[in-house]
Amino acid sequence: MTRPAGILPTIPPGLRLAFATAILAAVWLVVLPTVGRHPAVDRHVRLMEACDVNPSAMVYTELEHLPLRPAWIDRHLVLWPTGN
């Protein structure tokens, strides 16, 4: 081991890892699916799915649809002072 584990020093390391893994498994397999069924959360998820949005996109290239200048901007906004 590179360095002594930092928390709960009296519990054996293997048991600590098993305990942490059990908590993660419970959260991801039980708690989050339950939270996902809450009406407000479910509504948000459905809206995002309906709009084809990927909210976890880190940069624009990960979005479902590439953001390009919308046509209405060309029509209604003067983009450059010397332009149309």
Partner 1 sequence: MAADPGADVHKRGLHEDSAAILIGVALVALALAIGWSGRPTEDAASRKAFPKGWPNRLAATIDKPQTWSDAPKQALVVIDKKDPTKVKPVAIPILLGMTWVVGILAAGTLLRGRSLPEVLPGACCLALLGGLAYLMAAQKVINYYNLEYPLWALLVGLIISNTIGAPKWLEPALQGEFLIKTGLVVFGAEVLFSRLLELGLPGLLTSWVVTPIVLVVTYLFGVHWLKIPSKSLCMVIAADMSVCGVSAAIATGAACKAKKEELSLAIGLSLLFTVAMMVAMPPFIQWAEIDPIVGGAWLGGTIDATGAVVAAGEMLGKNLDDKRPAEVAATVKMIQNSMIGIIAFAVAVYWAGWVDRDASGPKTSLAAEAWRRFPKFILGFIGTSIVCSWLFTMSPEFALLVDGAINGFTSRLRGWLFCVGFICMGLQTNFRELAPTLASGRPLILYCLGQALNLVLSLAMASLTFGWLFRQGVTP
Give the tokens for residue 67.
């953001």
Give the DSSP H or E segment for 75: helix 71-76
Instruction: Name the minimum Å distance from CB 19 to partner 1.
Output: 8
Residues 48-77 binding partner 1 (CB under 8 A) are 48, 51-63, 65-70, 72-73, 76-77
Place of tokens 């360095």: 3
Contact 71, 64 (CB under 8 A): no
- Binding region for partner 1 (CB under 8 A): 1-7, 13-14, 16-17, 19-21, 24, 28-29, 32-33, 35-36, 41, 44-45, 47-48, 51-63, 65-70, 72-73, 76-81, 83
